[in-house]
Amino acid sequence: MKLFFIITKKSLLITLCLAVVLFLTAMWSSSLRLANIDGSTHEQRMLFIKSLGITVDEEAVTVKETVIPQKFGYVYDRYNELQNKAGFDLSPFKGKAVTVYGYPLLSEEKILTLIVCDDKIIGGDIAETDIHGEMKTLR
């Protein structure tokens, strides 16, 4: 028994469009999930950090208030690229006030940073404390 499939340009185009729509929908729903991480309390932030498999010094937390710039320059563009790799995006928060929490890692000379806006974790990183140290994504 032989099966034949006839692929027309129209069916190929429809299939390609459907694949693009499914991909964009998956990316959008993934970003919505990350945008809804509760960061409203110390306990919630600790639960998130522990879910990453990271142990921090909970007592040595630093807290600062800042505003994400309305217009990203070179540094913020690169930092947002780092956030995108972890599934976060700071673009929707341009011009908004945020709270930045810094937690020293217990096992290494690194700081885990969480960025919280409206009680939701919207980004973060893990950075070496050395001035020339490397910065990595949370995930």
DSSP letters for 69-97: -SS--HHHHHHHHHHHHTT---GGGTT-E
Quick check: is 61 in a domain? Answer: yes
Residue 111 resides in a domain: yes
More confident residue, 15 or 83: 83
Please state, in angstroms and rounded to a whole number, the distance separating the CA atoms of residues 9 and 64: 56
Can you give the pLDDT at residue 131?
A: 86
Cβ-proximal residues to 109 (8 Å cutoff; 6+ apart), any chain: 128, 129, 130
Over 80: is that where the pLDDT of 68 sits? yes
- C-alpha to C-alpha distance for 96 and 115, rounded to whole angstroms: 12
The total of structural domains in the chain comes to 1
> Is 108 inside any structural domain?
yes
Residue 72 lies in a domain: yes
Structure tokens at 98: 């945020």
CB 52 within 8 A of CB 124: no
Let me know if residue 27 belongs to a domain. no
pLDDT band with cut points at 50, 70 and 90 for residue 31? very low
- Asked if residue 6 belongs to a domain, the reply is no
- Residue 128 belongs to a domain: yes
Confidence of residue 9 (pLDDT cuts 50, 70, 90): confident
In this structure, is residue 15 part of a structural domain?
Answer: no
Q: If DSSP codes are grouped into helix, strand and coil, which group holds residue 102?
A: strand
Q: Is 110 exposed, middle or buried (0-12, 13-18, 19+ CB in 10 A)?
A: buried
What residues make up the domain containing 116? 38-136
Q: How far apart are the first and last CA of the chain?
A: 50
